[in-house]
């Protein structure tokens, strides 16, 4: 099968750039190339583009433009939120605990662990249920007088589960603890209104919603004081130094606008395809389980485990059959270890090693889903029998 014709079912890893977004970006590579910090007209045009993008992002999340910080992506936003808030809060109040869920993206988890290993913070973990959901009451019980920041992922990249973020945020606000949520997956599919949801810090990344890679934003509400992670010039309210990536910032804002405008119809359509896919897989494949929540999950997200199958082998066979999917975790060939997230939801290694994530996008059709459903069962059987 021609690699270029492989059917793409890995939108949670990255979505292709929308052509309309690229068109909006192009003038800022070409004639409007100026440094937004420059006084002259070239600089002014670049500066105006950034401020217009900032206002559009602010409007989407119902915050003020001063609360939108552009970063190099979801990972950097998570780093700035966790590290920046932890340092700042400790300086002001002495608080040195970080409370996170066990199903965070590595950008949050590894940042928290570095703060523990090298900077004297104490990292504590919430528990999750069998679907990977955090119970708001657990957050209430887990916050201590010296907890600096709480972080709970909005919607999980690996298993698609959506957390009760509004309730969790309300508890943190009431207790005076900063609350961060990694909304990198959620922003592509859910309406997020920070006027109603008292989140202090929220991370997004453009390439998950058909924008360019390497650009993101941290929404930092007014009360959330941060120590910058990247120091230098006064860009981004002195929270993120470095010459602004003007075309990419313009691209992020345009992609977010298009995503928000088409959210309802896209979600409805994808949810129907997703449900057909889940039903078809569970019907045709023995010893298969859906991972993540059956209802409270991203509309484009289906994830499974197949007992006794080798996930990497299955991905290779799917690729040869013309389907680009994922195991859901960053599990590398050669060093197979079960995903922390699948362990956290209670799966034994014999199940967790056989994970498959299928994420749909705007180009996915019912025909594609049916084709996939036909191809998958014999490949799972092979991935079981060929396993070392
Ligand atoms: C993709 C992703 C990230 C990382 O974002 P980048 O923009 O790729 O750095 C962080 N968190 C979640 C949940 C993601 O899905």
Domain ranges of the chain: 3-15+262-387, 19-258
Instruction: Give the atom of ligand 1 at the shortest distance from the alpha carbon of 155.
Output: 13
What is the model's pLDDT at position 388?
58
Instruction: Give the atom of ligand 1 at the shortest distance from the alpha carbon of 213.
Output: 7
Q: What residue's CA is closest to ligand 1, atom 5?
A: 74
What is the model's pLDDT at position 329?
76
Q: How many CA atoms lie within 13 A of 272 on its CB side?
A: 10
Q: Which of 184, 186, 341 to mutate to test the pocket of ligand 1 (most atoms within 8 A of CB)?
A: 184
Separation of CA 13 and ligand 1 centre (Å): 8
Q: Which of 157, 187, 326 to mutate to test the pocket of ligand 1 (most atoms within 8 A of CB)?
A: 157
| This model's pTM is above 0.75 | yes
Q: What residue's CA is closest to ligand 1, atom 6?
A: 74
The answer to whether residues 157 and 12 touch, using CB atoms and an 8 Å cutoff, is yes
Q: Which of 101, 109, 182, 217 to mutate to test the pocket of ligand 1 (most atoms within 8 A of CB)?
A: 182
The answer to whether residues 100 and 255 touch, using CB atoms and an 8 Å cutoff, is no
Separation of CA 184 and ligand 1 centre (Å): 5
The topology (CATH level 3) of 3-15+262-387 is 3.90.1150
> How many whole angstroms separate alpha carbon 78 and alpha carbon 105?
9
Instruction: Name the β-bridge partners of 97.
Output: 122, 147
The arrangement of secondary structure in 19-258, i.e. its CATH architecture, is 3-Layer(aba) Sandwich (3.40)
Separation of CA 303 and ligand 1 centre (Å): 18
Pocket of ligand 1 (CB under 6 A): 73-75, 78, 105, 107, 153, 157, 182, 184-185, 205, 207-208, 216
Q: What residue's CA is closest to ligand 1, atom 12?
A: 184
What is the model's pLDDT at position 333?
58
The reply to whether 331 belongs to the active site is: yes
- Which of 80, 152, 290, 331 is catalytic? The answer is 331
Instruction: Name the β-bridge partners of 150.
Output: 99, 179
What is the model's pLDDT at position 338?
87
> How many whole angstroms separate alpha carbon 10 and alpha carbon 107?
19
> How many whole angstroms separate alpha carbon 231 and alpha carbon 290?
44
What is the model's pLDDT at position 323?
98
Taking the chain (388 residues) in runs of 10, the rounded mean pLDDT of each run is: 78 98 98 96 97 98 98 98 98 97 98 98 98 98 98 98 98 97 97 97 98 98 96 98 98 98 96 98 98 98 97 96 91 72 96 97 97 98 86
> How many whole angstroms separate alpha carbon 33 and alpha carbon 238?
22
């Amino acid at each position: 099968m021609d690699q270029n014709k492989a059917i793409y079912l890995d939108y949670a890893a990255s979505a292709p750039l929308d052509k309309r977004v690229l068109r909006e970006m192009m003038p800022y590579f070409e004639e409007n190339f100026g440094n937004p910090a420059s006084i002259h007209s070239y600089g002014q045009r670049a500066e105006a583009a950034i401020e217009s993008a900032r206002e559009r992002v602010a409007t989407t999340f119902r915050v003020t433009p001063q609360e939108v910080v552009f970063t190099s992506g979801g990972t950097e936003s998570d780093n700035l939120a966790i590290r920046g808030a932890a340092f700042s809060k400790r300086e002001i109040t002495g608080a040195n605990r970080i409370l996170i869920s066990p199903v965070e993206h590595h950008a949050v988890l590894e940042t928290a662990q570095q703060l523990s290993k090298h900077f004297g913070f104490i990292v504590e973990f919430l528990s999750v249920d069998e679907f990977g959901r955090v119970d708001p009451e657990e957050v209430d019980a887990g916050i201590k007088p010296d907890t600096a920041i709480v972080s709970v992922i909005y919607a999980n990249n690996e298993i698609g589960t959506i957390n009760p973020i509004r309730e969790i945020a309300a508890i943190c606000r009431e207790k005076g603890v900063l609350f961060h949520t990694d909304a990198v997956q959620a922003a592509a599919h859910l309406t997020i209104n920070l006027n109603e949801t008292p989140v202090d810090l929220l991370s997004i990344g453009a390439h998950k919603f058909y924008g360019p890679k390497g650009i993101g934003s941290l929404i930092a509400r007014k009360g959330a004081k941060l120590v910058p992670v990247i120091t230098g010039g006064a860009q981004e309210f002195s929270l993120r130094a470095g010459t602004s990536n003007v075309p990419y910032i313009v691209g992020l804002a345009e992609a977010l606008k298009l995503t928000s405008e088409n959210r309802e119809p896209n979600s409805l359509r994808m949810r129907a395809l997703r449900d057909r896919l889940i039903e078809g897989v569970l019907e045709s494949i023995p010893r298969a389980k859906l991972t993540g929540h059956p209802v409270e999950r991203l509309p484009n997200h289906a994830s499974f485990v197949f007992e006794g199958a080798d996930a990497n082998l299955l991905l290779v066979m799917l690729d040869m059959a013309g389907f680009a999917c994922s195991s859901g975790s960053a599990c590398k060939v050669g060093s197979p270890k079960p995903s922390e997230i699948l362990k956290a939801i209670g799966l034994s290694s014999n199940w967790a090693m056989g994970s498959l994530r299928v994420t749909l996008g705007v180009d996915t059709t019912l025909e594609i889903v049916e084709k996939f459903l036909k191809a998958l069962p014999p490949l799972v059987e092979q991935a079981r029998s060929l396993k070392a």
